[in-house]
């Protein structure tokens, strides 16, 4: 496979994952906002800060009303990380690697893009929001289904998975980073209901609200949430799950190409590190440092992958 194609596949997967994550985040905040008297102003503002959108946003909008935030996140062409921009970028990468994809995978991507172009053509109001967000998530599921059901599970597939999981773990790490203070063991005492609302937003934006409740029988406590999001190897958006996937895909590539790669070593080290930490009491981990460290490690891994496989 061409190095350039590897790069296109990797980024196509990252952009798609990112657009899905954005949709989930908006949905979680919407859900939160609708049940609060202040309309969740703080949460809408937090999305902008956390995503690094603040500067671009403030240049264009006078205030961060929910409608402004939603339109900026979903359809603003000046925002390179709006769902529309991401879908266009994903599709453009997909077009470049049309020959690496099955017809069904390409169709699901192209049709999602067409659907986005259609529903995001005009400004979005809050009335249409739930339907639009469901549509974006559905497109994502369809794509993933076609991917797993019709593609060869070969190097092409591995590069797509690498992009997906690097993006996904980055999102999980940043989500925790944003609210880590609410996950400290002391938080329960300080916060009360306010924290509960925050944990819910966090879990919902990682598609983990239901599974968390199901596993913990509804016992919502900060250490439990932290442990779940970091270590649980069954939860498809936990840090541990993502790195295991990254390691396994890199191992596959080593097998296919008959070589040992730097990136493969880094992934192994991260997985081992997670196992070590897990055996400790979660209260002993300095969450702030732990998360900061993983943001850096993930970035390093992404760069190494590009070097190892001529992704250019």
Partner 1 sequence: MFDEMLTEQSDEVRAPYRTLMSWLGEQDLKKLSKESALAEELFRGVGITFNVYGDKDGEERLIPFDLIPRILALNEWRRLEKGIIQRVAAINAFLKDVYNGQEIIKAGVIPADLIYKNRAFLPQMCNFIPPGDVYTHVLGVDIVRTGVNEFFVLEDNARVPSGVSYMLENRSTMRHMFPELFTTHNIKSISGYPKDLFNSLSSCAPNDISDPNIVVLTPGIFNSAYYEHSFLADEMGVELVQGSDLEICDGRVMIRTTAGTEIVDVIYRRIDDEFLDPMSFDPDSLLGTPGLFDAYRNGAVILANAPGTGIADDKAIYSYIPDIIKFYTGEKALLDNIPTWRCAEAKNLRYVLDHLNELVVKEVHGSGGYGMLIGPAASKRELAAFAKKLKTNPGKYVAQPTLALSTVPVLTKSGLSPRHVDLRPFVLVSPDGIKVTPGGLTRVALKKGSLVVNSSQGGGTKDTWVLGK
Please provide the DSSP assignment of 104-156 as one string. HHHHHHHHHHHHHHHHTSS---TTTHHHHHHHHHHHHHHHHHHHHHHS-SSHH
Report if residue 257 touches partner 1, rule: CB under 8 A: yes
For partner 1 (CB under 8 A), the number of binding residues is 27
Phi, psi at 195, each rounded to 5° = -65, -40
Site string for partner 1, 55-94 (x = CB under 8 A): -------------------------------------x--
Q: Is 228 in the site for partner 1 (CB under 8 A)?
A: no
Alpha carbon separation from 68 to 40, 64, 80, 212 (Å, rounded): 14, 6, 16, 32
Is there binding between residue 309 and partner 1 (CB under 8 A)? Answer: yes
Residue among 139, 133, 107 nearest 120 (CA): 133
Q: How far is the CB of 250 from partner 1 (least distance, A)?
A: 12
Least separation in angstroms between CB 12 and partner 1: 13
- Tell me: does residue 159 bind partner 1 (CB under 8 A): yes
- 148, 222 in Cβ contact below 8 A? no
CB of 301 to partner 1, least distance (A): 16
Closest to partner 1 by CB, 51 or 139:
139
- How many CB atoms neighbour CB 71 within 10 A? 20
**Taking a C-beta distance cutoff of 8 angstroms, is the pair 232, 224 a contact?**
no
Looking at the Cβ atoms of 80 and 256, the one nearer to partner 1 is 256
Give the residue carrying structure tokens 């496989």. Answer: 309
Q: Residue numbers of the site for partner 1 (CB under 8 A)?
A: 1-6, 92, 95-96, 98-99, 103, 106-107, 110-111, 114, 155, 159, 253, 256-257, 259, 309-312
């Amino acid at each position: 496979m061409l190095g350039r194609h590897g790069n296109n596949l990797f980024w196509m997967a990252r952009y798609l994952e990112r657009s899905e994550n954005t949709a989930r985040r908006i949905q979680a905040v919407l859900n939160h906002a609708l049940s609060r008297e202040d309309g969740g102003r703080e949460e809408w503002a937090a999305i902008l800060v956390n995503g690094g959108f603040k500067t671009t946003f403030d240049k264009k909008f006078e205030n961060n009303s929910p409608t402004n935030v939603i339109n900026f996140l979903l359809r603003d062409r000046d925002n390179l990380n709006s769902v529309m921009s991401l879908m266009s970028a994903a599709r453009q990468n997909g077009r470049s690697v049309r020959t690496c994809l099955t017809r069904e995978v390409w169709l699901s991507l192209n049709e999602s893009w067409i659907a986005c172009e259609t529903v995001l053509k005009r400004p979005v109001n809050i009335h249409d929001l739930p339907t639009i967000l469901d549509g974006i998530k559905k497109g994502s599921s369809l794509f993933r289904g076609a991917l797993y059901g019709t593609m060869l599970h070969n190097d092409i597939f591995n590069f797509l998975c690498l992009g997906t999981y690097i993006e996904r773990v980055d999102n999980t790490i940043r989500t925790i980073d944003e609210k880590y203070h609410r996950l400290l063991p002391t938080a329960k005492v300080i916060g009360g209901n306010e924290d509960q609302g925050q944990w819910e937003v966090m879990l919902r934006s990682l598609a983990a609200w239901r599974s968390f409740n199901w596993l913990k029988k509804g016992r919502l406590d900060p250490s439990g949430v932290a442990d779940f999001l970091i270590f649980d190897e069954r939860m498809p958006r936990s840090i541990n799950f993502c790195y295991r996937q990254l390691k396994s895909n890199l191992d596959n590539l080593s097998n296919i190409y008959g070589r040992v790669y730097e990136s493969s070593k880094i992934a192994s080290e991260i997985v081992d590190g997670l196992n070590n930490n897990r055996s400790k009491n979660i209260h002993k981990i300095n969450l702030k440092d732990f998360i900061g460290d993983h943001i850096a490690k993930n970035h390093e891994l992404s760069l190494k992958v590009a070097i190892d496989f001529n992704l250019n």
